[in-house]
């Protein structure tokens, strides 16, 4: 069964800091291709984001997608295409010596500022737009693409480029995909804003179990309350209170699914001052009462605070 909820580190993780990662292609390349296997420690769950588009293939095993406003499980491998500046975790939780992971990362303009405007690139341009909501590819198609990705490793820089363009075209035209609908929180980072958004993430992660006022969080990043509210809405497309409530409810969903705790205790541990407020927010964000969610662990898709079954 696949469960879709808002993303948050599960309760057994230590609280993670959202890390800005700088991606550097190898010499002679305009994009990055990396292969990992069992000996590489890429399974640690680290919340990070970067300005590159990212194509991820995992040849087998099972795991959980943690992509900001989305959590879901996958089995028998994975093929994802994510747009830039979407906070996400590592994806694999069961990984053995048979399986490998390929990660391709590229800037939108990795072939030039106007390259995607060429008519031959129309399909790939649309793929890049769709990727900003997150894309998961399905069925045998994902493994056919995986084989092509694995072949990139030993190719010359020119052959890698041609191979990547062929792969992107195949991804663009296949019907074997689903949108992960993570558009509720995609950052529009500029260099001068990166530090401030990291400060906000860190503060929420460290303090979401307690009351956080607009005055407190605004002071944390040296802004007035009105300036902070405008800044956060511009960056995240959410109000800070919406983000904080969704963050807390995400944590509550994980506890309801994984922990044997009373709902009253879960409410308090997620930073809600009253049980009634917790119940209202839970119903508003998930479409379920906490007790129904705990008993049934329903299949839920979250899309901009609306639930689609």
Q: Per-residue pLDDT tens for 48-87?
A: 677 789 999 999 887 767 676 566 667 888 999 999 878 7
pLDDT tens-digit profile of 270-309? 999 999 999 999 998 888 899 988 887 654 444 333 332 2
Q: Which CATH number fits domain 19-184: 2.40.30.10, 2.60.40.10, 3.30.450.40, 2.60.120.280?
A: 2.60.120.280
**Residue in 215, 131, 235 with CA at minimum distance from that of residue 179:** 131
Say yes or no to pLDDT of 176 above 70: yes
- Predicted local confidence at residue 29, as pLDDT: 52
For the chain, the structural domain boundaries read: 19-184, 186-308
User: Sorting pLDDT into bands at 50, 70 and 90, what band is 111?
Assistant: confident
**pTM given for the model:** 0.61
- Residue 260, classified by CB atoms within 10 Å of its CB into exposed (0-12), middle (13-18) or buried (19+), is exposed
Query: Matching CATH topology for 19-184 and 186-308?
Result: no
Domain 186-308: give its CATH architecture.
Orthogonal Bundle (1.10)
**Contact criterion met (CB below 8 Å) for 152 and 163:** yes
Quick one: which of 216, 198, 215, 196 has its CA closest to 207?
216
Q: pLDDT tens across 198-233, in order?
A: 788 778 888 999 999 999 999 999 999 999 999 998
């Amino acid at each position: 069964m696949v469960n879709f909820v808002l993303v948050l580190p599960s309760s057994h993780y230590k609280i993670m800091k959202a890390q800005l990662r700088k991606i550097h292609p190898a010499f002679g390349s305009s994009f990055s291709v990396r292969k990992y296997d069992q000996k590489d420690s890429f399974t640690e769950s680290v919340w990070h984001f970067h300005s590159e588009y990212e194509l991820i293939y995992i040849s087998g095993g099972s795991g959980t997608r943690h992509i900001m406003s989305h959590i879901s499980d996958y089995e028998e491998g994975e093929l994802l295409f994510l747009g830039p500046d979407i906070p996400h975790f590592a994806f694999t939780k069961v990984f053995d010596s048979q399986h490998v992971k390929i990660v391709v990362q590229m800037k939108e303009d990795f072939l030039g500022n106007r390259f995607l405007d060429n008519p031959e690139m129309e399909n790939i341009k649309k793929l890049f737009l769709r990727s900003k909501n997150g894309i998961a590819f399905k069925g045998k198609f994902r493994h056919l693409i995986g084989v092509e990705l694995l072949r990139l490793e030993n190719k010359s820089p020119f052959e890698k480029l041609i191979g990547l363009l062929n792969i992107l075209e195949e991804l663009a035209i296949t019907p074997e995909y689903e949108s992960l609908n993570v558009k509720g929180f995609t950052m529009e980072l500029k260099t001068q804003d990166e530090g401030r958004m990291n400060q906000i993430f860190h503060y929420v992660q460290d303090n979401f179990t307690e009351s956080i006022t607009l005055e407190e969080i605004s002071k944390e990043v040296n802004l007035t309350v009105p300036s902070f509210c405008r800044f956060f809405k511009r960056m995240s497309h959410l109000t800070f209170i919406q983000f904080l409530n969704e963050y807390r409810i995400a944590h509550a969903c994980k506890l309801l699914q994984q922990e044997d705790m009373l709902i009253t205790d879960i409410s308090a541990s997620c930073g809600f001052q009253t049980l009634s407020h917790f119940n209202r927010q839970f119903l508003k964000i998930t479409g379920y009462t906490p007790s129904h969610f705990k008993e049934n662990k329903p299949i839920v898709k979250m899309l901009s605070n609306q639930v689609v079954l």
